[in-house]
Amino acid sequence: MTARSIPWLKFTAPPNFYVLAERLTPWLWGVAALFLVAGLYVGFFVAPPDYQQGNSYRIMFIHVPAAWMGMFLYLLMALYGAIFLIWRIKMADVMARAIAPTGALMTFLSLWTGALWGAPTWGTYWVWDARLTSTLILLFLFLGYIALHAASDDREKGGRAASLLAIIGAVNVPIIYFSVEWWYNLHQGVSVMRADGPSMAPSMLAALLLMTVAFWVYSAAIVLRRAQSETLSREARKEWAQQAACGRLTRDTRERAVAQAQQENAVSESGGQA
Amino acid sequence: MKTRHKRLFLVLGVVAGVSVATALVLNAFRDNLTFFITPSEVMAKSEFPERRFRIGGLVEDGSVDRDPNSTRVTFEVTDTRKNVPVTYEGILPDLFREGQGVVVEGRINSEGVFEADNVMARHDEDYMPAEAQEAIERAGHPEDEVGDYY
């Protein structure tokens, strides 16, 4: 497989990835801030109080996007883990590793805000129902991934073990998502992605979707940033990384580094046959 | 076969194996994974379970009876087919009201009355402004989506 056959394979070369992320992140931060402000404004000032819950339902504008993001980031992390295991593309491991803390944060946020919402609504902070328990397991999977990745002195080995954990744990995500349909739960059923359309007033839905976009773009920005610094620390001995860390990466150095990285990849691919 | 193809099939095999194993386990533990059982399921049992369990359903309209001198309250939980009488002493959650979802936790006594030590309100998946709800009630269609729960 060459860089020509699939265009984005170009970004498996660390210097190319670094430059791409450098260009993207300022825009992503801006877009995330814009949607966050819009979402919070609509959520707090435009959307009306709920007919049953009054104002406490507004927690869902944080809770729901965070929960979606946690599940999505886990699947993405598992996908990058699989790419790393199968094709041994190091940048995939960098991406999976960069996703884990944000995924853990999102899952924690969804559990925490859920507890704060549950106290006035259900009359309890926590119950061991299928939805809540499987979400707690998701948090432990993220933390386990981070711990396993860091457990081995050999980064390659740690990455492989953690990737395998990520792939095995992916079975939990459909369980979380469908738990409210498979079993009776204290947690209510699906409101937004229903066959008969969302069961939610339009202005509430608008706030929820604006916040969801904000969470997506924020996650993209922070993950790319984290992947950038991880790349620099992994390549710290190389000339391009030292230049990039000082903000003075020249095109010439980058192209030389890319050529070298491709050569190393070719060697490790043929070496992988044994 | 190239090494990376072997690894691809290995990963796919792991995913398939884990999925099948999980599906079997979840299926085997189905009864334990459900957070509550319905009044119909309680009534269908030949003898009432002695251990603590949870019943979920709607608070029957007009069944709530509060003792004016204490926090004792009695009501019936219904799934629109069968009802279970419940007694509870304590503070009820804000969303506890007639016609709304509820989950009660406790034991059933020899007279068939469920003695709850914990009452949780169950919220439905509908979110709407208070005005919209009033409009629906004026139009003569009070929440008629009871069937959606079960």
Asked if B121 and A273 come within 8 Å (Cβ–Cβ), the reply is no
End-to-end CA distance of chain A, in Å? 19
Give me the residue from A175, A186, A269 closest to B35, CB to CB: A186
pLDDT at A248: 83
Provide the percentage of residues in chain B whose pLDDT is more than 90. 35
Question: How many other CB atoms are there within 10 angstroms of residue B147's CB atom?
Answer: 8
**Chain A residues in contact with B146 (beta carbon < 8 A):** none
Closest residue, chain B, to A170 (C-alpha) = B15
Å from A255 to nearest chain B CA?
A: 27
pLDDT at A86: 93
| Residues lower than pLDDT 50 in chain A | 1, 3, 272-274
Nearest to A44 by CA among A64, A69, A62: A62
pLDDT band at B126 (very low <50, low <70, confident <90, very high): confident
Query: pLDDT tens, A138-177?
Result: 999 999 999 999 998 898 999 999 999 999 999 999 999 9
Predicted TM-score (pTM) above 0.80: yes
Supply B36's token pair: 């509550």
Closest residue, chain A, to B92 (C-alpha) = A123
Mutation test of the interface with chain B: which of A87, A135, A171, choosing the one with the most B Cβ atoms within 10 A?
Answer: A171
pLDDT at B47: 77
Provide the percentage of residues in chain B whose pLDDT is more than 70. 87
Query: How large is the average pLDDT for residues B25-53?
Result: 85
Report d(CA A46, CA A256) in Å as an integer: 54
Give me the residue from A85, A121, A190 closest to B7, CB to CB: A85
Residue B10 DSSP one-character state: H
